[in-house]
Amino acid sequence: MPADQEIYQLIPHRPPFLWVDRITAFRQDAIVTEKLIPADLEICSGHYPGHPILPGVLLCEAVFQTGALLMAKMQNAGSLTMENAVPVLARISNARFKRSVFPGDRISMEVRLTEVLSSACFFSGKLRVNDKLALQVDFSCTLQPTVTG
């Protein structure tokens, strides 16, 4: 399933490293997204052969990209002010993996804003598979100016 056009307008991530297909809910301090993990996802053929599991770092990335989408929507609403900037991961803490995600699964990511300090946003994120918690993680992102050349 290709990503909604809105996602391409909000964040710089692109396939094959885009881990969000669509935004399913949004409010000023929270966002929910989802992604269908392709049944034939190549990375899973080597992680692990005969028992494919989506790597935990990619689960975290899906949550982080969801946070980037929330930041972009906050920028559009005027809550964050820095033009020509991209969200960059600054901190990861308290990551807890509860269950595996497999090719063919649909994942849902929920990110809540917990604090804003200058251009840094602090978030709490959850990822679910089959409505069951698979990952919890706290993280922060900052806005950094884009490099033009």
DSSP string, 100-127: ---TT-EEEEEEEEEEEETTEEEEEEEE
Per-residue pLDDT of the chain (149 residues; tens, 9 = 90+): 567 999 999 999 999 999 999 999 999 999 999 999 999 999 998 998 999 999 999 999 999 999 999 999 998 888 877 777 888 999 999 999 999 999 999 999 999 999 999 879 999 999 999 999 999 999 999 988 887 65
Q: Which residues are catalytic?
A: 47
Domain ranges of the chain: 5-145
Largest CA distance in the chain: 49
pTM recorded for the entire structure: 0.94
CB contact at 8 A, 109 and 58: no
In this structure, which topology does domain 5-145 adopt according to CATH? Thiol Ester Dehydrase; Chain A (3.10.129)
Q: What pLDDT sits at residue 146?
A: 82
pLDDT of residue 148: 66
